[in-house]
Chains A and B, each alone.
Chain A
Amino acid sequence: MVKFRKFLVVIAVLSLLSSMVVGCSSKTSSTAEKTAEKATKEEVVIRHWQHHHEARTPVVKELAQEFEKTHPGVKIEFEAIPYDSYFDKLTTALSSKTAADVFQISALQAQEMIKGGYLQPMPETIMSPSQLRSEFLEWTISQAEKDGKYYGLPTDVQTIVLFINDELYKKAGFDPQNPPKDWNEFLIQAKKGTIVDAQGKMQQAGLDTRYKWAVYTLFIYQMLDGNVVDLVNKKVNYDSPQGLEAWNFIKKLMVDEKVDSPEFMTGQFKFELGKAMFYLNHPVTVGRIKKMAPDLKYTIALPPAPPGHKQTTIGHNWLYVVNKDSKNSEMAWEWVKFLASKEAQLKFIKEAGDLPSMKALLSDDSLFPDENAKVIRKSLEIAYPTQELGEKDVNQIRDEIWTKIILQKASVEDAVKEGAAVENALIQKKLSK
């Protein structure tokens, strides 16, 4: 009974606390209307959403403070949402009209969202289309345009480059100064870099494939010279004989030569932890390596090309966009403009390891001090922009092809044809409405 009295006390305290906090919350509750209502009286509140990233989240917080200083009476309410639930949350919020004023979308979602009427075009007072085109790299804004109007500014500009662990590469008998140029070399080297113990258990991967999107997207874009999606005919091209060749190369790497396995260090940072020789990922990985494994020696190279092709890579970026229903769209666009400005980009580059989207910054040699950085700059110039119609839904279809080939040892042709049919149907559905 004494314990029970204790319990009652706990409950009483909890209830007191809760009634207090609930009381406060109804005042500060975050529905867009209330914010707007309050805003007209005292201050302008801009709600900003983007997916959480350990390096970028702090940068955006800093930038928000700077912006608030130069714009008195404006408050940026920043929410970093876990990547796992970002897309789900964004769609839910958009369909219920509770989304933020400013949010981040993958460039690949832009056309769909513009068509769905979720986004607001940029007013001329912020930046004219011609000014925009002269300042930003063409491919980073191409997806944001519709009928001559622009609907967002680029952020998180990334290509895919090849990371090489110098020590493991030398141990396998190669020279980091002389990275693989084509797929055949790459396959042979990756195989040499793979170590399996006597029981057949993998100890070291030749290629870290945990970011499978990077691997298959790069290979199909390289093989198809950037023409993966055909919006005119509403279909994908990766089930063509050439596309199948790219998928077959994946099978060679993963099934025949087993340079990595989904069962080897699932979900872990294999390359950063020195357990993989090659790694295909975005240059932003530099920032993570600096933080996680400051002593790791590595070389960055352009990705190897399919035999007979030039060395190319893919480019992918995100966009900051303004919600159609935003009550403070002027100020929201000011904030977006600031996020894509030179000062902001310099901060993203230095603190988060991002890449510039402004042409002017590309020629700034101080931003590309070493060989690795110069390779990254080069990759920006030779990148095919990704053009998928959709982000998560498309990835899901292609991930499934990958998984079928690698885990189920399915026939490449069947798996790819099946996936392509699903994606074609998706494209047709999206373009028809």
Chain B
Amino acid sequence: MIKAGKKLSQERRLALIGFLFVLPAVILFIVLVFIPLLQAFYMSLFDWSTIREVKKFIGLKNYIDMFHDPKFIKSVKVTITWTIIVVPSIIFFSLLLALILNLKSLRFKGLFRTIYFIPVVTNMVAAAFVWRWLFEPTNGVINYFLSLLHLPQPGWLADPKWALPAMMIVGVWKQIGFAMVIFLAGLQTIPRDMFEAAYLDGASGVTMLRKITLPLLNPTIVFTSVMLVINAFRVFTIPYVMSAGGFTYGEPGGPLDSTRVFVIHIYDYGFRQFELGYASANAFFLLLVIMVATIIQFKTLERPFEY
């Protein structure tokens, strides 16, 4: 009896200690995530502006107004375009690179891996300034290369048609290394004897890729794509830095809102026009989209979370 009681109190003691270990994170989670989230939802139900000094409950009107706002529709279109082009491009290129760099017979693999990883650790604001100049239509290096190849030289960031593609090139540039390293790690978990057995059965390289590598790599691909999709919905620095600036460039998200991604849209309403209620409603919409996208992607991932 005594022994059991002691055990119980020991169990309680450990539960308490465990809780204490978790406590700092839980408190910070509540203060920095949970309360702001509730607050954001609360604000989204108001016509709330610090400039007009209004705070009036309007229910779901912000959410309804949103769908009649051409800027909202434009920014959704821009963000979707960004996501469906940038994410598959990154996955394609980084998977290709990872497959090449996973070959045994190749040399200088370490060097190439380092080079491809450099953009990941390069400060994005600084890099965006550099890219803006590489894309400069007259003296920029990119148009210089195009002129050497006798290709047409677009106006890039000055042209509403080409501004977004230019920024997407930078978005892919920044994240290839990251995805590549994850794929390399995933490739290393595939047992070599599977390939050997397939080789003995007379399978060609392409067949092995299709039948062994890609299926076994599938969880890694899904994981990477989930992360990349979340990143794509949240992109801000690249379009902000590359589109805005003085009188010669213009407003963030320009020219003519052609690069107004969703976060620039929220920033514009929240921190430039101070329509806090409306901006919060937009932010909540973003949360909803990310949740749905994540759940859809995880549905295809078989391995559940362990904890």
Contacts and interface: CB of A to CB of B under 8 A. Distances in A.
Direct contact of A and B (CB under 8 A): yes
B165 interface: no
A225 to B, nearest CB: 25
Given A210-B247, A263-B155, A265-B136, A95 B272 contact: no
A87 B248 CA distance: 17
A84 B271 contact: no
B159 A265 contact: no
Contacts, number: 79
Contact of B247 (A202, A213, A404): A213
Contact of B137 (A95, A116, A266): A266
Nearest to A265: B138
A95 B155 contact: no
Nearest to B241: A84
A262 B155 contact: yes
Nearest to B157: A266
Given A84-B244, A84-B246, A262-B155, A92 B137 contact: no
B50 interface: yes
Contacts of A407: 158-160, 255-256
* Most chain B Cβ neighbours within 10 Å, of A263, A268, A396, A399: A263
Nearest to B150: A199
B249 interface: yes
B47 interface: no
Interface string A248-275: 0000000000000111111110000000
A263 B274 contact: no
B271 A268 contact: no
A399 B272 contact: no
Contacts of B136: 265-268
B245 to A, nearest CB: 6
B52 interface: yes
Interface in A75-115: 83-84, 87-88, 91-92, 95-96
A426 to B, nearest CB: 11
Contacts of B52: 433
Nearest to B267: A88
A365 interface: no
A6 to B, nearest CB: 18
Interface string A396-415: 10011001100110000000
B51 interface: yes
B51 A83 contact: no
Interface in A178-229: 201-202, 210-213
A407 B251 CA distance: 15
A211 B256 contact: no
A88 B138 contact: no
B66 to A, nearest CB: 19
Contacts of B160: 403, 407-408
A142 to B, nearest CB: 24
B36 interface: no
Contacts of A213: 247
Interface in B207-250: 244-250
B188 interface: no
B139 interface: yes
Interface in B263-278: 271-272, 274
A399 B250 contact: yes
A202 B50 CA distance: 47
A263 B271 contact: no
Contact of B139 (A96, A211, A262, A265): A265
Nearest to A214: B247
Given A400-B256, A433-B52, A212 B158 contact: no
A92 B273 CA distance: 9
B246 A88 contact: no
Nearest to B257: A400
A83 B158 contact: no
Interface string B166-198: 000000000000000000000000000000000
B138 A202 contact: yes
Interface of A: 83-84, 87-88, 91-92, 95-96, 116, 201-202, 210-213, 261-268, 396, 399-400, 403-404, 407-408, 433
Given A84-B246, A95-B274, 18 more contacts: A84-B244, A84-B245, A88-B271, A95-B50, A116-B51, A201-B138, A262-B159, A264-B137, A264-B138, A265-B139, A266-B157, A268-B136, A268-B139, A396-B250, A396-B251, A403-B254, A407-B159, A408-B160
12 contacts: A83-B246, A211-B247, A211-B248, A262-B155, A264-B138, A265-B138, A266-B136, A266-B137, A266-B249, A267-B245, A403-B160, A404-B256
